[in-house]
Structure 1
C-alpha cells in the first residue's frame, strides 16, 4: 500500500438499523424538534450543501431560508461557530465531537459520555452521534428559541435535560411517527414508550449510513489507480514537505486532537457565564485548562472541497486561502479581509460582528497561542495541494442513499 495511505472500509462504521435510518431521515428534516417548529437539523446540515450550510456562522432560530440565501430575520445573535460537515462521523475512530470536543466517549458520568449534560444525559444512547444529536435541540440560538417563545426553551432554563421529554411527546403523538417507531425498535410496543433516546438513536442511524464517503480518486489511488499529476504532486507535499499529515492523519484525515491556528476572530464568540467577552477560547471552554486555550478539533478533510467556508468559525472562503493561512498564520490574521466571512446580512449585528478585533489584549493572547510553524511553499505547491484536497471528494458524495424527504409526518415544511 502507498506510504501514508489509510483506506476506509465499510466495516469501519458503526452498525445502523436500516429502518431506524429511514425514520431518522424524517426526524432530521422535521422542524417539530425545534422549540418554535421552524428549524430542523437539516437547516444547518443540508443535502444540497454537502451536509453543511455554506455559511461562516450559521443563522439558527429566527432565520428564514437555506444556506447562503438564508435571511437573518429577527435573530438576536449568530450561531458562534461554523456548522461542521457530517461526513464519516459514523466511523469507529470518532470518539470526540464538536469544535471544542465538549462531547467525548467516557464513562465519567455513568452514561457513556462526557458531555454538557453531565449526569443528566439519558441512558441508552447507542453511540456518540446519538448523544450529539441531543444538544442542538437545547441550544437557544440554534433550535430551542428565545426565552418566552415556547415551552422548550422555558424548560431549558430549568435544566438542560428538561426539554427532551417535551420534544419526545411532540413526536410520539403523531400517529405516523408512532407506527414507524414501533416498526423500527424491537423494544417499542406502543407510541407512549417513545423517548428522546429512540429519537436520537434514529437520527444517528441516519447520519451513520447517509454520510459515508470513501469512493474518491484518493481511494482509487490506494487501490492502485494513479492520481492526476497535480493531485499526485499535492499528495507528496501533503505527506511530505507540507507536513499536513502531522494533524490530518489516518483514514479520516484527522488526528481528532486540538490545535491552535490563530484564525481571525469575529462573531459573538462562545461566551461563558463567568467570561462574557465575545471570544472563543476553544477547547479551554470544556477543560478550563489554560494550555487548551484557542485550540480546536482537527476537522476531517474528506469531501473538504464541498464544505466551504473553512475553520471553526468559517473564516476562509476557499481552500487556497485556508492553506495560505497555515503557511503564515500571523501575517494572514493581520491581513484578513472581513469580506472573507460568509455572513448573511444583519445590520443590527454588524457593530458587534468584528468588535472583538478591537480588544488588543485579547488579540495578543490569540496570537501567542499557535501550534503550527510557518512554512514556505510556492504558488504551484499550493495549487497542487488544492488539487489533492479535491481528490478527496467522493465520486458519489452528492448522491446519497436516502437524500431529503419530500415531506415529514408533522406536516411542517421541509427545507
Structure 2
C-alpha cells in the first residue's frame, strides 16, 4: 500500500513548505515510482538486525572506560561526564563545561584556580541514541566524520591518514576524537603528556592513553578476555579501547520501543499524538528532513538559530562564530548549515539545536515555524549556561557583530509556516511518542566504580 502520508510530506501539495525546493524537484522525479511502489510501513521499523552484533564482554569493558577519567589528559573528566545516564546520554546544558569542571549536568561547575575552564564547549553535546544503526553514515554537528576510503582507513575524519586501521565502525571512530579535544578531555598544552603529544600530531596521544589503560591489571585481564586477538595486555592499543567504547555506546543506547513503533505495527497513537503525526508527515513538512526510521536524512541545513558561545572557530576566524558544515567542506554554500539530528527520544535530550539555543520542544518547533521571529524574540536567559563570570563577556559577544548577524540571518533553509498553538501542542505530543518505553532502563547503566580508582561522576 502506498505511503500516502510520506508522499504528502515530501510534496506538500498546496503548501510552500520550508525551503528545500531543490529537494522537492529531486523528489518529483520519483513521484510515479512512489505512487506505485511506495515503501510499506514496516520499512520504518528498527529491529535488532539493524545493529552490529555486540560482544557483551567488550560492552562491559566499554562501560567502565566510558565512565573512567583515566582516558582524559588530566584524569578529571570522562565520556560519561557529558553523556551521562542521568541526562539520557547528554548533559542538559546548551554548551557543556568540559575539562577542568566539576559535577554533572546543569549543576556542573566551571572549576577554580588552575583548573578553571578557559572556554565553554562550542556545541551542544549530541545524544547517543542509535548511533550504531547501520544507516548512520556521518557524525558530529558539522559532519566532519563520515564513512569514506579517502584515507584508506575507512573514514574521512579530522585525523585523516593518521586514524588507525581496525576500528569496527563509524561510532568507534567518533569515540576517539573527544579524547584529543583540548577543552573536552585532553586538557591544555603543557598540562599533561596527552595534551603535549597532540600538539605534535593527533595520533601521538592515543598510544599514551592506551598504555594508561592496559597497565591497570583489571583492565588488562578484561581486554584479554574480551578480544580474541589479544593474548597479553601489552598488545592493547587505542583500537581496542575504541572498539570497547563503541561496543558499549552502540548497545547501551539502542532504542526502538516507542509508541510510534507500536503504531507502525497497528497500535493507535493517543489522539493528540496522532494529530501531530499527521502534521509531521503532512502539512508541517517535518519529515522532509526528519525522515526514515531514525528521523534524520543526515543532511545539513541552516536554521538561523540564535548565535552565542565561543563558536567552533577555524584557525583564521577573527571572532567567536560557528560556520557549521562549511568548516568541514570549505564550500561557501554550506555556511551555517548543521546536521539534521535524529528525533528518537528527543523529548529526553533538551536543550535543542547545535548550540542548545532552545530549552523546550515547543520553542524549537516555533523556531522552525517562524525562524526570523523566534530569533528576534530569543533571549540569553533561554540558554542553559552555568555561570562562568570570566567568560561572560565572550558568551554573547557575537551578537554585537551586525555584519556577522546579517550573514547568519540570510543563510536560511526554512521559511515560515503558520501553526496554531494547538498544532504546536500536537507536534510536541507526537515527538513525545518517539520516546522509548524502556529509554530510562539501560542495560548496563552507570558503574559505581572503575578499575583506575578515580571517582565516577
- Alignment TM-score, normalising by the size of structure 2: 0.90
Query: Which of 62, 66, 69 is matched with 1:31 structurally?
Result: 69
Query: Which of 280, 287, 293 is matched with 1:251 structurally?
Result: 293
Return structure 1 stretches of 4+ with deviation > 6 angstroms. none
Query: In 1, Cα distance between the equivalents of 2:341 and 2:91?
Result: 16
Partner residue in 2 for 1:71? 109
The yes-or-no answer on 1:88 pairing with 2:130 is: yes
Shift of 1:17: 1.2
The yes-or-no answer on 1:265 pairing with 2:307 is: yes
Partner residue in 2 for 1:187? 229
Which one has the largest radius of gyration? Answer: 2
The yes-or-no answer on 1:328 pairing with 2:370 is: yes
Partner residue in 2 for 1:199? 241
The yes-or-no answer on 1:374 pairing with 2:416 is: yes
- Residues paired across the two proteins, number: 415
Partner residue in 2 for 1:115? 157
Query: In 2, Cα distance between the equivalents of 1:373 and 1:271?
Result: 27
1:217-243 CA deviation, whole Å, 9 max, x = no partner?
Answer: 111111111000000000000000000
Structure 2 portions without partners, runs of 5+: 7-40
The yes-or-no answer on 1:53 pairing with 2:91 is: yes
Shift of 1:18: 1.2
Shift of 1:14: 2.0
1:323-377 CA deviation, whole Å, 9 max, x = no partner?
Answer: 0000111111111111110001101111110000000110011011111121001
Over aligned residues, Cα RMSD in angstroms? 0.8
Shift of 1:274: 1.4
1:295-332 CA deviation, whole Å, 9 max, x = no partner?
Answer: 00000000000000000000000000000000111111
Higher helix proportion (structure 1 or 2): 2
Partner residue in 1 for 2:22? none
Query: In 2, Cα distance between the equivalents of 1:250 and 1:394?
Result: 17
Query: Which of 327, 337, 345 is matched with 1:295 structurally?
Result: 337
Q: Secondary structure of 1:104's partner? A: strand
Partner residue in 1 for 2:35? none
Q: Secondary structure of 1:192's partner? A: helix
Shift of 1:285: 0.3
Partner residue in 1 for 2:215? 173
Shift of 1:276: 3.4
Shift of 1:161: 1.0
1:164-204 CA deviation, whole Å, 9 max, x = no partner?
Answer: 00000000100000000000000000000000000000000
Alignment of 1:307-386 (within 5 A): 307-386=349-428
- Alignment TM-score, normalising by the size of structure 1: 0.99
Query: In 2, Cα distance between the equivalents of 1:85 and 1:276?
Result: 30
Partner residue in 2 for 1:164? 206
Query: In 2, Cα distance between the equivalents of 1:330 and 1:159?
Result: 42
Q: Secondary structure of 1:224's partner? A: coil
Query: In 1, Cα distance between the equivalents of 2:152 and 2:271?
Result: 52
